[in-house]
Amino acid sequence: MSFQRISCAKAKDLFDNPALKVADIRDPGSYAQGHVRGAVRVDNDNVQDFMQSAPKDAPLLVCCYHGNSSQGAAGFFASQGYSEVYSLDGGYEMWKMAAPELCER
């Protein structure tokens, strides 16, 4: 199992799929200031709950600050049996410029 790195432009296409899940692994303050629409903030405290609620056959987009930490998290989710995992290149910092219409607070 592995994951794919994905550009913001390609990630926007994922939002056509209503089954898409978005995991934001940033800190609570950064998440509160803004995040990808529909994202769930995931950390060590709630990752098990997230995995119980996120179907393993649904696309999963993992987002961090700049697209570095999300690669490790995407690898983790892929190793847990998620079949379609993406790491957002450029992270939320790039996303908020590339897709402001898909951001929320």
What tens digit of pLDDT does each residue of 80-100 get? 999 999 999 999 999 999 999
Q: Reply yes or no on whether 64 is catalytic.
A: yes
Model confidence, pTM: 0.96
Annotated catalytic residue within 8, 63, 64, 103:
64
Q: In which band, very low, low, confident or very high, does the pLDDT at 1 lie, cut at 50, 70 and 90? A: low
CA distances, 8 to each of 3, 30, 33, 57, 59 (Å): 15, 19, 19, 22, 15
Neighbouring-strand partners of residue 85:
60
| Residue 47 confidence (pLDDT) | 97
For 30-82, the pLDDT digits (tens) are 999 999 999 999 999 999 999 999 999 999 999 999 999 999 999 999 999 99
Contacts of 1 (CB under 8 A, 6+ apart): 78, 79, 81, 82, 83, 85
Dmax of the chain from CA atoms?
A: 33
Task: Output the pLDDT for position 48.
Answer: 97
